[in-house]
């Protein structure tokens, strides 16, 4: 059995500005760096053993994974198979700019968001195929994968066998944890970002005694 912990990278400035990033190598913002360290602290405190740590080779994923590697004593391995969807010509644009320049793409994607490729880029189906190829290479065990929102939504669609456009309804916050079991196709956790909740700054076991 494979227990896969899918983690979205920390926030970037382009996330905050709601710009399409795709394969562009955007670094973490100061907020994102803080999120990555809070995630690392949480997993270090958990005491759970992990068999491997993998990340998308894009900088925002690597920078999120590096604190995990340090606190968990794991070797970080990167791969382009875990990258975000290639948004092609949409990269760097916000939604309003993209819709103005590529109205036909958005009309087509509204009807079929899974198979419609971004202009000059990938479709979600393309992303899912490379994700599946990577997941098949993993042996049994508990594995950490630092990736992207699109990658994690694709994983949920594949594991749950979701029909239609329901996969789009998952909200995947930065540094949130989504846990799946393979090959059983079970989902244990979706978008767990408790380490970013405000109560986590003051609530502790000591305060409950």
Set 3, 9, 122, 195: catalytic member: 9
Q: One of 11, 63, 84, 122 is an active-site residue; which one?
A: 84
Which residue range is the domain that position 11 belongs to?
A: 2-208
- Give tens-digit pLDDT for 66-86: 999 999 999 999 999 999 999
Q: How many domains does the chain have?
A: 1
Question: Which residues does 64 contact at the CB level (< 8 Å), separation at least 6?
Answer: 7, 9, 10, 28, 32, 35, 36, 39, 55, 146, 175
Dist CA 119 CA 181 (whole Å): 34
The per-residue pLDDT of the chain, averaged, comes to: 94
Q: Residue 195 catalytic?
A: no
Confidence of residue 129 (pLDDT cuts 50, 70, 90): very high
pLDDT tens digits, one per residue of 108-120? 999 999 999 999 9
Answer yes or no: 11 catalytic: no
Which whole number is the average pLDDT over 124-144?
Answer: 98
**CATH number assigned to the domain comprising residue 94:** 3.40.50.1240
Residue 202 has pLDDT above 80, yes or no: no
């Amino acid at each position: 059995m494979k227990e896969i912990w899918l983690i979205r990278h920390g926030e970037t400035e382009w996330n905050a500005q709601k710009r399409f990033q795709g394969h562009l190598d955007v670094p973490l913002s100061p907020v994102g760096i803080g999120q990555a360290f809070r995630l690392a602290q949480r997993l270090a405190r958990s005491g759970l053993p992990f068999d491997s740590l993998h990340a998308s080779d894009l900088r925002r994923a690597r920078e999120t994974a590096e604190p995990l590697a340090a606190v968990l004593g794991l070797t970080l391995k990167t791969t382009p198979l875990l990258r975000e969807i290639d948004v092609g010509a949409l990269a760097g644009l916000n939604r309003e700019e993209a819709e103005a320049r590529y109205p036909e793409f958005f009309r087509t994607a509204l009807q079929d968001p899974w198979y419609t490729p971004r202009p000059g880029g990938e479709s979600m189906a393309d992303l899912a195929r490379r994700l599946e190829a990577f997941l098949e290479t993993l042996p049994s065990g508990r594995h950490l994968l630092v990736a992207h929102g699109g990658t994690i939504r694709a994983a949920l669609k594949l594991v749950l066998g979701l029909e239609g456009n329901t996969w789009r309804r998952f909200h995947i916050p930065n540094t949130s944890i989504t846990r799946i079991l393979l090959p059983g196709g079970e989902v244990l956790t979706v978008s767990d970002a408790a380490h970013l909740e405000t109560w986590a700054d003051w609530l502790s076991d000591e305060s409950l005694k």
